Amino acid sequence: MVKRIGILLSGRGSNFEALADAVADGRIPNAEIAVVISNREGAPGIEKARARGIEALVIPSKGKERETYDREVVAALRERGVDLVCLAGFMRLLSPYFVNEYRTRILNIHPSLLPAFPGLEAQRQALEYGVKYSGCTVHFVDEHLDAGPIIRQAVVEVRDDDTPETLAARILREEHRIYAEAVRIVLEGRYRIEGRRVFITQEG
Ligand code: GRF
C-alpha cells in the first residue's frame, strides 16, 4: 500500500521539496505526497507544490481559535486519506485535538539539537549562547513546543565567522537529509518508542 504524506508549512518549503525529491527518487519508497497545506496565503511552498503537480491548499489560520483551525486541517487531511503528517516550517503549535487524531503520526523538523533552543530563531539562539555544535532534530509531535520523542539528529559545527544565516544554511542541508531518513523509518514502522526513547530497528 502506498502511504500518503500530508505536509503542513507556512513559508519557503525547502523541507517539503527535500521530502518530495526523496519520494520521487525512491529514498522514501511506497509513498506519495497527497497534499500540502499552508496556513499563510502566499507561502512560497504552495507554489512549489503546485509546480510539482501536488495538490496545495491554503487554509488561513488568522483570527481562528486553535482547535477550530485544527479541525479544518484534520478534516482536509482525512478527506485525502493522509497516513503521516510532516510539519515543514509550520509556524503553529498543534492542539491536543490534532495530536490525538494523528498521535505518533506527526513529525517535525527543528533547526537545533533539541532540547536546546526550542522556538523561533534557533540558529541565532545557538550563536548567541556560544555553543560549538548545533544541528537539527526530527521528532514526533506532541502538544508541547518542539518536544516529543526524537527520531534523528544531525550535528553541525559552529564556526567562528558564522552568522545566523551561514549557520542556518549548513544546518538546512542536514535537515533535508535526516527528514527524509526519519520519514522512511516511520512509514516502514521500523521503530519502537519506550518513554522518550525511540529505538530504530534495522532494515530487512
Ligand atoms: C526549517 O529551518 C525548519 O527546521 C524549521 O523551519 C524552517 C523551515 O524551512 N522548522 P523550509 O520552509 O522548510 O525551507
Superfamily in which the 108-204 domain is placed by CATH: Formyl transferase, N-terminal domain (3.40.50.170)
Euclidean distance between CA atoms 108 and 62, whole angstroms: 22
Euclidean distance between CA atoms 158 and 38, whole angstroms: 32
CATH, domain range 1-102: 3.40.50.170
Determine which residue's CA is closest to atom 10 belonging to ligand 1: 89
Confirm whether pTM is higher than 0.85: yes
- In the chain, domain spans: 1-102, 108-204
pLDDT tens digits for range 13-49:
999 999 999 999 999 999 999 999 999 999 999 999 9
Euclidean distance between CA atoms 62 and 69, whole angstroms: 9
Residues whose beta carbon lies within 6 Å of some atom of ligand 1: 9, 11-15, 45, 88-89, 109-111, 172, 175
Given this model, what pLDDT does residue 202 score?
82
